[in-house]
Amino acid sequence: MSAGEESKSAPDTLLSLDKAGLAEHVVALGGKPFHGRIAREQVLKHGVTDYAAMTSLPATLREALAAELPILSSREVDRSVARDATTKLLLGFPRGGGVEATIETVHIPPSSPKSTKGATLCVSSQVGCPVACPFCASGRLGLVRNLAAHEILEQYVRGRALGDLSRSVVMGIGEPLLNFENLTTALDAVHDEMGLGTRRITVSTVGFPDRLRRAAESRPRFQLAISLHTPFDDQRDELVPAMKGTPIADVIAAADHWFDVTGREVTYEYVLLGGDNDSVDHARALADRLWGKRCTVNLIPYNPVEGDTYRRPHAEDVDSFRQFLDDAGTVATIRWSRGLEGDAACGQLRVRHA
Ligand code: SF4
């Protein structure tokens, strides 16, 4: 069943209706067309998720809306909170036939309690993921379906209920470029109606070259991150199976095109798997691939997932890898994952429930 068929089987919500549909719905309940715009604004701009608190609407309309048109379609299935207050939500969306589709959304507060910045929200773009990276819990369960635009947007509403947001990364479950239309519809609303600027939204992809080129041409309102994970083609075929046969050089050429068209630097994500891709040879080959490019490499030491064969790298190997890139003129930063004890790796909470 396609994403469209899935979402059609679900009942309407305030966020799933377009402007005309919402106005029509509100009028049918005795309101004026502009009441629909006010209600949506209350949710997206002001974070209100209860009609009773929308006091700028007539009381009778608030009651009718509360009875007829839910604001959100998801339910919180589970929540996992780490010691540093990183909160992972397992959200369930209706899927028809009484089945529920689950995804994860992670709210990561600033690392220092004194920080005046808001949190970072990590959102999912698909239910499950077809890319099937062997080190990723989400890849193990395969793809169930695309998320509808309002289901992506809803994650932001739920995330903001946990605290102000200053950044967002689309790095949760799924491959964003395979659900690009729905994703950009949602991100446009995040940008225009929730006020998160282009530089504060990052979309992370494994980098299908043709799709990446089209994305660059589509006036994207986000930053780009590409999950590379290795500089060697044969190893990438293993680590990112959906990209099998696509040379890394083609991915990097498409990333260069992105930079040329948008003027925004690309970030390369590199999950460091202890003993697999954290050697000096890997660092040297990666530096060669990226030599002379304006980009950054984010090194992400792997979070072990129950039952797999990959290991967390030694801290000294992580430092040496970063230092090697640095010496070769490639900017690299290390991103130790936050909230390690709370089912922190992508997809772990979902896999536990499955
Ligand atoms: S790491 Fe990302 S692309 Fe790979 S299977 Fe997991 S969610 Fe999909």
What number of CA atoms fall less than 13 Å from residue 38's CA on the CB side? 16
Confidence band, pLDDT 50/70/90 cuts, at residue 115: confident
Task: Look over the chain and give the mean of its residue pLDDT values, rounded to a whole number.
Answer: 90
Q: Mean per-residue pLDDT for 28-47?
A: 95
Across 6-15, 96-105, 171-180, 300-309, least confident range = 6-15
Q: What are the distances in angstroms from CA 114 to CA 84, 102, 120, 336?
A: 13, 34, 16, 20
Res. 4 pLDDT band, cuts 50 70 90: very low
What mean pLDDT do residues 219-243 have? 96
Residue 125 beta carbon below 6 angstroms from any ligand 1 atom: no
CA 259 to chain centre: 21
Encode 126-181 in three state secondary structure: EEECCCCCCCCHHHHCCEEEECCHHHHHHHHHHHHCCCCEEEEEECCCCCHHHHHH
Strands 126-128, 331-334: pairing kind: unpaired
| SS3 of residue 223 by DSSP | strand
- C-alpha distances in Å from residue 308, one per residue of 106, 230, 244, 301, 313: 23, 19, 21, 15, 14
Q: What is the pLDDT confidence band of residue 290, given thresholds at 50, 70 and 90? A: very high
- The percentage of the chain sitting over the pLDDT mark of 90, rounded to a whole number, equals 80
Confidence of residue 244 (pLDDT cuts 50, 70, 90): very high
Pairing status of strand 295-301 against strand 266-272? parallel
| Cα-to-chain-centroid distance, residue 41 | 23
pLDDT band at 5; cut points 50, 70, 90: very low
Query: In the prediction, which pLDDT does 114 show?
Result: 73
Quick check: CB of 133 below 6 Å from ligand 1? yes
Position 140 confidence tier, pLDDT thresholds 50, 70, 90: confident
**pLDDT value of residue 84:** 87
**pLDDT number for residue 350:** 62
pLDDT, position 16: 95
Distance, CA 173 to ligand 1 centroid (Å)?
Answer: 7
Q: Which pLDDT score is estimated for 130? A: 95
- pLDDT at position 204 over 60: yes
Query: Over the range 5-39, which residues count as b (16 or more CB within 10 Å of their CB) and which as e?
Result: ebbeebeebbbbbeeeebbebbeebebeeebbeeb
CA of 129 to the centre of ligand 1 (A): 6
Higher-pLDDT residue of 45 and 7 is 45
CB atoms under 10 Å from CB of 326, counted, come to 15
pLDDT score recorded for residue 99? 73
pLDDT, position 351 = 60
Burial string for 257-282 (b: 16+ CB within 10 Å, else e) reads bbbeebebebbbbbbbbbebbbeeeb
Q: Which atom of ligand 1 is the closest one to the Cα of 138?
A: 6
pLDDT score of 135: 87
Q: Is the pLDDT of residue 303 over 90?
A: no
Cα–ligand 1 centroid distance for 139 (angstroms): 6
pLDDT of residue 354 exceeding 90, the answer is no
Residue among 144, 346, 348 whose CB has most ligand 1 atoms within 8 A, to mutate: 346
Q: What is the mean pLDDT of residues 189-216?
A: 96
DSSP 8-state assignment for residue 273:
-
Query: What's the confidence (pLDDT) of residue 228?
Result: 96
Contact yes or no for 61/26 (Cβ under 8 A) = yes
Q: Is the CB of 138 under 6 A from ligand 1?
A: yes
The answer to whether the CB of 129 is under 6 A from ligand 1 is yes
Say whether pLDDT at 1 is over 70.
Answer: no
pLDDT bracket for residue 98 (50, 70, 90):
low
**Domains, the chain:** 17-68 (1.10.150), 75-353 (3.20.20.70)
pLDDT band at 118 (very low <50, low <70, confident <90, very high): confident
Task: Report CA(240)–ligand 1 centroid distance (Å).
Answer: 8
Active-site positions read: 104, 346
For ligand 1, the distance from its centroid to the CA atom of residue 131, given in whole angstroms, is 6
Tell me which of 101-115, 245-259, 329-343 is least confident: 329-343
pLDDT higher than 70, residue 338:
no
Over residues 58-76, mean pLDDT:
96
Going by C-alpha positions, the residue among 272, 189, 197, 187 that lies closest to residue 228 is 272
Residue 2: the pLDDT is: 39
Residue 132, ligand 1, Cβ within 6 A: yes
Q: Is 141 in the pocket of ligand 1 (CB under 6 A)?
A: no
Question: Is the CA virtual torsion 150, 154, 155, 160 positive or negative?
Answer: positive
Predicted TM-score of the model (pTM):
0.92
In this prediction, residue 348 carries a pLDDT of: 59
* All residues at 6 or more sequence positions from 5 whose CB lies less than 8 Å from its CB, including other chains: none
